[in-house]
């Protein structure tokens, strides 16, 4: 507890203690990649942690397992005994997941472990009248229940009744009076008469009983089954070493200076590197504290205070607030590379100047370069005039609860900004529509431009791709042979006359 973090010692596996704390409600979930945490009593398990993606982790709940698969804690312990676990890698030979699941579902949670003990002693627990019988002394399934006599069926249509009777009286199922019109049974025909259904049910029952006997013989052949030590290990609810730790789990604020000293000594990390990576966690703790009980405390050893919300940031498909933290003391610096902000001694972070209209940028750090996708996001540094701010990504609902007035002002400013943007876009679209040339006919009395004049006259004279008719030219001359095209007499005319012919 020296650094403000509670350390608990487990009697055996740490995972068992984490599951116990989750079962008692002292923690929200267990972070582990091993699914046997549910066997230790965990209610929520988080696995496959990925920081830089839209789905940063996988979360599983015992309630979903119970409703989806139908297994509870003791039934999952029985599954582990049958197919194997970390404490028994082999399990029972011949048992896979499907066979074990089918077998475990035969019993309720309160019965399953007791029935396994009975089977391990050679007692068959299924059929009535054989609760105290030994497996080897059980009669064969064929003698346990008499066979059902199946009524004769027609070989032609497959319905009840002989073929001879159908040829005389017809078939009631085919609704005909003679075998001649009786329907021939198709491939794979299954009769649905009561005697056939009863015979099928009896056959399925015998098959199931045979499978039960086979499973029980296989379990009874195992030595020391079920392993009582494994059962006690999974079902134990006393995994805390109370001699070396207080059983009461308290959550307090971490002591930053002590943690920095510890990690500097144990991991040889620079103090500035530790503080940079701790700041996003400390800011979340600070916002939770302000949301529950507002106070006048500051962030990171009373060095930074909440200033404002800069903008909304989309990160891995989720929306966040980009929050500005102002240095409470010594935060005013002048221009120049030698006056970069420090995180209580840190002086090696690159300054990233962000603008409201700029795209999202990542802060670069000279302390340690890494291309790992699991590298946590570091706080960005913003220099605005003579002041320096730190920027962190925070949950929107948490910031709204911690600083409701600041969040309301930011939301109002965003609404006004959006309204102005929509108004500006509507004005631009209206101006563009007014500048467009009308496509309809011009009103009378409006003089055409020279280009429109020539275009309209040519279209009128050259309608349907025809040339203007000239004196001396007939339709028959136009339709002459290709070898002797008609002579164009207009070429011999003066230009003034050709214009008149074209535009009059």
**pLDDT at residue 303, rounded to an integer:** 78
Do 392 and 321 have their domain in common? Answer: yes
Domain total of the chain: 2
Q: Which pLDDT does position 369 carry in this prediction?
A: 35
pLDDT at position 295: 78
Same domain, residue pair 393 and 469: no
pLDDT of residue 342: 47
Sign of CA dihedral 81, 87, 92, 96: positive
Q: 387 and 303 share a domain?
A: yes
- Residues 339, 470, single domain; the answer is no
Q: Residue 340 domain-assigned? A: yes
| Domain's final residue, options 402, 422, 440 | 402
Residue 341 lies in a domain: yes
Could you tell me if 385 and 309 lie in one domain? yes
Could you give the percent of the chain with pLDDT greater than 90? 25
* Structure confidence by residue, pLDDT tens digits, 79-101: 999 999 888 888 899 899 999 99
Query: How would residue 433 be classed by pLDDT, with cut points 50, 70 and 90?
Result: confident
How far, in Å, CA of 356 to CA of 364, rounded?
A: 19
What are the angstrom distances between the C-alpha of 247 and each of 7, 187, 239, 393, 470?
10, 71, 10, 35, 115
- Cα-based angle 49, 394, 341 (whole degrees, multiple of 5): 105
Q: Domain range holding 486?
A: 464-503
Express each pLDDT in 442-485 by its tens digit: 555 555 566 555 555 555 555 545 555 444 555 444 444 455 55
| 389 and 481 inside one domain | no
From residue 163, give the alpha-carbon distance in Å to each of 21, 152, 170, 171, 182: 73, 9, 9, 9, 10
Please check whether residues 384 and 491 belong to one and the same domain.
no
Among residues 70, 67, 63, the alpha carbon closest in space to that of 43 is found at 63
Q: Within the chain, what is the greatest distance between any pair of CA atoms?
A: 129
Instruction: Check residue 347 and give its pLDDT.
Output: 39
Q: If you search the block for the tokens 């010594």, which residue do you land on?
A: 330
Scan for tokens 């007014």, then name that residue: 434
Are both 299 and 391 inside the same structural domain? yes
- Collapsing DSSP states into helix, strand and coil, what is residue 5? coil
- Look at residue 417 and tell me if it is in a domain: no
CB 141 within 8 A of CB 213: yes
Q: Are residues 298 and 390 in the same domain?
A: yes
Is residue 270 assigned to a domain? yes
Q: Are residues 474 and 398 in the same domain?
A: no
Buried-state track 98-110, b at ≥16 Cβ within 10 A, e below 16: ebbbebbeebebe
How do the residues of the chain divide into helix, strand and coil, expressed in percent and rounded to 5?
A: 45, 10, 45
Q: Which of 73-87, 124-138, 155-169 shows the highest mean pLDDT?
A: 73-87
* Tokens found for residue 329: 């003391």
Residues 261 and 395 in one domain: yes
Indicate whether 398 belongs to any domain.
yes
Which pLDDT belongs to residue 30?
Answer: 93
Close Cβ partners of 305 (under 8 Å, ≥ 6 residues apart): 298, 299, 325, 326, 328
């Amino acid at each position: 507890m020296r650094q403000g973090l509670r350390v608990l010692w487990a009697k055996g596996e740490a995972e068992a203690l984490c599951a116990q704390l989750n079962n008692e409600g002292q923690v929200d979930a267990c972070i582990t990649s091993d699914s046997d945490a549910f066997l230790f009593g965990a209610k929520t398990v988080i696995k496959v942690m990925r920081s830089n993606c839209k789905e940063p982790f996988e979360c599983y709940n015992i309630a979903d397992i119970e409703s989806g698969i139908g297994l509870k804690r003791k039934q999952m312990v029985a599954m582990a005994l049958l197919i194997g676990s970390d404490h028994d890698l082999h399990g029972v030979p011949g048992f896979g997941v499907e066979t074990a699941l089918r077998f475990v579902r035969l019993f309720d949670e309160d019965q399953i472990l007791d029935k396994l003990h009975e089977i391990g002693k050679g007692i068959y627990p299924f059929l009535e009248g054989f609760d105290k019988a030994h497996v080897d002394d059980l009669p064969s399934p064929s003698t346990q229940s008499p066979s059902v006599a199946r009524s004769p069926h027609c070989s032609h249509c497959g319905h009840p009744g002989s073929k001879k009777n159908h040829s005389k009286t017809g078939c009631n199922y085919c609704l005909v009076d003679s075998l001649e019109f009786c329907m021939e049974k198709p491939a794979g025909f299954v009769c649905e008469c009561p005697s056939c259904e009863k015979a099928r049910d009896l056959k399925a029952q015998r098959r199931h009983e045979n499978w039960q006997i086979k499973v029980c013989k296989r379990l009874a052949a195992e030595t020391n089954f079920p392993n009582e030590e494994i059962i006690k290990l999974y079902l134990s609810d006393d995994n805390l070493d109370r001699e070396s730790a207080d059983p009461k789990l308290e959550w307090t604020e971490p002591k930053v200076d002590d943690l920095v000293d510890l990690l500097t000594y144990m991991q040889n990390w620079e103090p500035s590197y530790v503080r940079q990576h701790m700041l996003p966690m400390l800011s979340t703790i600070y916002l939770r504290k302000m949301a529950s009980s507002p106070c006048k405390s500051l962030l990171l050893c009373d060095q930074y205070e909440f200033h404002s919300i800069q903008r909304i940031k989309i990160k891995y498909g989720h929306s966040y607030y980009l929050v500005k933290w102002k240095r409470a003391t010594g935060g005013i610096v002048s221009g120049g590379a030698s006056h970069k902000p420090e995180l209580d001694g840190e002086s090696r972070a690159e300054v990233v100047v962000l603008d409201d209209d700029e795209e999202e940028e990542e802060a670069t750090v000279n302390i340690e370069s890494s291309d790992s996708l699991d590298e946590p996001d570091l706080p960005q540094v913003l220099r605005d005039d003579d002041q320096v701010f730190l920027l962190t990504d925070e949950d929107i609902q948490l910031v709204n609860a911690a600083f409701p007035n600041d969040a309301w002002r930011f939301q109002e400013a965003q609404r006004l900004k959006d309204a102005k943007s929509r108004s500006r876009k509507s004005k631009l679209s209206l101006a563009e529509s007014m500048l467009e040339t009308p496509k309809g006919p011009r009103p009378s009395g409006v003089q055409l431009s020279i280009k429109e004049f020539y275009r309209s006259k040519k279209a009128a004279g050259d309608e349907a791709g025809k040339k203007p008719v000239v004196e001396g030219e007939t339709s028959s001359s136009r339709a002459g042979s290709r070898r002797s095209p008609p002579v164009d007499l207009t070429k011999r005319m003066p230009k003034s006359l050709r214009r008149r012919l074209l535009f009059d």
